[in-house]
Homo-oligomer: A and B are copies of this chain.
């Protein structure tokens, strides 16, 4: 995990430039591109700052490779190429909810993945996906086969759409979350359906729903 202190102005400027350069040109900048854009007098100064950004986990440098800079996101994952999100399992009424294993990302391959808009991972960091099975989420306007993008979290702000696990009922559900003193109101997205009320202890929040994706064909 990168330190979250704010960087010196010049170093922040370099980082910002690299990101915008990649977005505009589809490939990383050279040391000299950075030098010109950030008004730095010498390539060695750029190199020096890149070295520090590398050490502190903001980016990766491939030695002796032209344009070999790779930006890393907050969790140290490369964010250059296509963001692929692990589909960690299926979600269905009555079925147990797979855990979002915070580690194991690098080793445990052999997972289904789904591509998402880069903006999502840029905004939210590490994400997971669940494929919805069956019609049980129809009250949240979520169909069989839809993919739900999740940001793991134990907590949520009032009004946010969450993945909730109801302990007693042994049921997973996607609802809007409203804490009300000692109990919790779980409101379906479809406003014509009635909410569920449950005691706070009975409700485990597993993550926030960041996006829902439905594909055809």
Residues of B contacting A215 with CB < 8 Å? Answer: 210-211
A70 CB–B CB distance under 8 Å? yes
Q: Which of A132-150 contact B (CB under 8 A)?
A: 138, 141-143
A160 CB–B CB distance under 8 Å? yes
User: Quick one: closest B residue to A123, CB to CB?
Assistant: B217
- Tell me, in angstroms, the Cα distance from A217 to B149 when the chains sit together: 12
Q: Which of A182-217 contact B (CB under 8 A)?
A: 189-190, 208-217
Residue of B27, B30, B70, B114 near A28 (CB, 8 A) is B27
A116 CB–B CB distance under 8 Å? yes
Binds B, one of A43-51, A74-82, A86-94, A100-108: A74-82
Residues of B contacting A8 with CB < 8 Å? Answer: none
- Tell me, in angstroms, the Cα distance from A22 to B160 when the chains sit together: 36
- Tell me, in angstroms, the Cα distance from A217 to B209 when the chains sit together: 9
Smallest CB-CB A-B distances: 6 pairs: A26-B80, A66-B66, A115-B117, A212-B214, A26-B81, A115-B119
- Given contacts A116-B117, A160-B216, list 9 more A-B pairs with CB under 8 A: A26-B70, A26-B80, A27-B27, A66-B67, A82-B117, A82-B118, A141-B142, A211-B213, A211-B216
